[in-house]
Amino acid sequence: MHEMSLCEAVVEIAVEEAKRNGAKHIRSLVLEVGVFGHVDPDALAFCFSAVSHGTLAENARLVIECIPGSGWCLDCAKTVPMTERFGACPECGRRHVQMSSGDELRLRELEVE
């Protein structure tokens, strides 16, 4: 389960940032998880309480936002929704699509006190 190591990294980043800003406790974290990122949001949430135990993030609220896939079609010159990583453009059917979202794992927001 790689979600455990990903969660450890997220908590480490959050705690470092909170300490750098003089915070005593992390109240909540907002993570963006792309649908193509091979990360199970439920497993990530499950790991969070274990990983955050004994840190500034203990008892913090974890909010996971799933980011849909999208890409830029080089043939259509449009941003299009994507349902698979290397899928065809839903507009023209060609496969000249550069993914622009859907594979991220980003700590977007951190609420501290």
Q: Name residue, tokens 């698979």.
A: 84
Residue 91: count other Cβ atoms within 10 Å of its Cβ: 13
**Looking at the predicted structure, is the pLDDT value of residue 56 above 80?**
yes
Average pLDDT estimate for 23-48:
96
Walk me through the domains of the chain, giving residue ranges and CATH numbers: 3-68+102-112 (3.30.2320.50)
**Looking at the predicted structure, is the pLDDT value of residue 1 above 90?**
no
Average pLDDT estimate for 16-45:
96
Q: Residue 50: which pLDDT band, with cuts at 50, 70 and 90? A: very high
Overall residue count recorded for the chain in this entry: 113
Provide the whole-model pTM: 0.87
